[in-house]
């Protein structure tokens, strides 16, 4: 169809061309499972008709398609274009979160935090604001800034207290404390996270490990022979594994 209509520009032909590019992209994405082909067709549509309704749908899909083919830079450009073109349309906050997550995944932690902060500032009532706050906190953790990470996790927990995201923040705070060797604080964080976390088994496993380390670190009364014997036996078994 695109070959048949050529480059001629009339209102009727533009309508046909828009639909053809959109359909070609859909066919490549859904039926041919060819994300590179789909991204090409959607990008052509956006370039030729930037304000068309079909172009909005294309923008929504472009970033994810670029990620599938490993083009992170292209994905970032697509999501930024989506946000800039229609920040008030549904999905703009999701695109902003994808920008923040992609930047953190690339190790661009400062930029990732800035993108997350923009989401929370522009869409304060978004259901994704808590996820953005948690992502921002995790960026400190990933970069080895444990003190900043713990403070950020505490801030998320206070702001979203009683929610699943608050439980995730407590769990990650526990992991951070465990990495610092502060098992007593880790046990408290894990225990507080346990009730609302969506993976309670993972929390329970981390909690039990921290409790075992904490138990081994406690001093034993030398006159309590059974405790001394049990401690020595447990330590020998641990070294043999």
Asked if 22 and 57 touch (Cβ cutoff 8 Å), the reply is yes
Asked if 206 and 174 touch (Cβ cutoff 8 Å), the reply is yes
- The alpha helices in the chain, defined as continuous H runs, are 2-5, 11-26, 35-48, 53-68, 72-85, 92-105, 109-122, 129-142, 146-159, 164-179, 183-193, 200-217, 225-240
CA–CA distance, 39 with 25 (Å, rounded to integer): 7
The structure's pTM equals: 0.81
Asked if pLDDT for residue 228 goes beyond 70, the answer is no
pLDDT tens digits along 11-21: 888 888 889 99
Asked if pLDDT for residue 240 goes beyond 70, the answer is no
Give pLDDT, residue 238.
46
What is the rounded average pLDDT for all residues in the chain? Answer: 89
pLDDT tens digits along 92-115: 999 999 999 999 999 999 999 999
Give pLDDT, residue 234.
45
Angle value at C-alpha 46, between 41 and 52, nearest 5 degrees: 120
What is the dihedral angle through the alpha carbons of 220, 222, 228, 231, rounded to the nearest 10 degrees?
30
pLDDT tens digits along 137-190: 999 999 999 999 999 999 999 999 999 999 999 999 999 999 999 999 999 999
Phi, psi for residue 51 in degrees, rounded to 5: -105, 5
Among 105, 109, 139, 134, residue whose Cα is nearest residue 197? 134
More confident residue, 235 or 217: 217
pLDDT tens digits along 63-95: 999 999 999 999 999 999 999 998 999 999 999
CA–CA distance, 63 with 66 (Å, rounded to integer): 5
Mean pLDDT (whole number) for 122-149: 96
Mean pLDDT (whole number) for 48-54: 89
Asked if 146 and 176 touch (Cβ cutoff 8 Å), the reply is yes
How far apart, in Å, do the first and last CA atoms of the chain sit? 68
Asked if pLDDT for residue 217 goes beyond 90, the answer is no
């Amino acid at each position: 169809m695109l070959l048949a209509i050529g480059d001629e520009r009339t209102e009727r032909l533009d309508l046909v061309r828009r639909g053809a590019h959109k359909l070609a992209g859909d066919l490549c994405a859904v039926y041919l499972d060819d994300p590179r082909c789909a991204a090409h067709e959607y990008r052509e549509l956006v370039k030729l008709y930037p304000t068309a309704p079909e172009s909005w749908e294309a923008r929504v899909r472009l970033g994810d398609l670029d990620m599938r083919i490993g083009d992170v830079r292209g994905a970032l450009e697509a999501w930024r274009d989506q946000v800039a073109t229609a920040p008030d349309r549904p999905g703009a906050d999701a695109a902003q979160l994808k920008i923040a997550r992609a930047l953190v995944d690339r190790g661009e932690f400062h930029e990732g935090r800035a993108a997350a902060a923009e989401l929370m500032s522009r869409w304060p009532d978004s259901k994704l604001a808590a996820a953005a706050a948690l992502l921002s906190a995790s960026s400190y953790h990933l970069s080895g800034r444990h003190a900043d990470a713990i403070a950020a996790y505490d801030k998320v927990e206070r702001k979203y207290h009683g929610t699943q995201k608050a439980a995730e923040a407590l769990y990650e705070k526990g992991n951070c404390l465990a990495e610092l060797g502060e098992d007593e604080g880790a046990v408290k964080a894990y225990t507080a996270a346990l009730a609302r976390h969506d993976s309670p088994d993972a929390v329970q496993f981390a909690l039990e490990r921290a409790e075992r380390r904490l138990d081994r670190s406690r001093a034993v009364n030398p006159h309590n022979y059974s405790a001394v014997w049990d401690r020595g036996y447990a330590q020998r078994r641990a070294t043999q594994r």
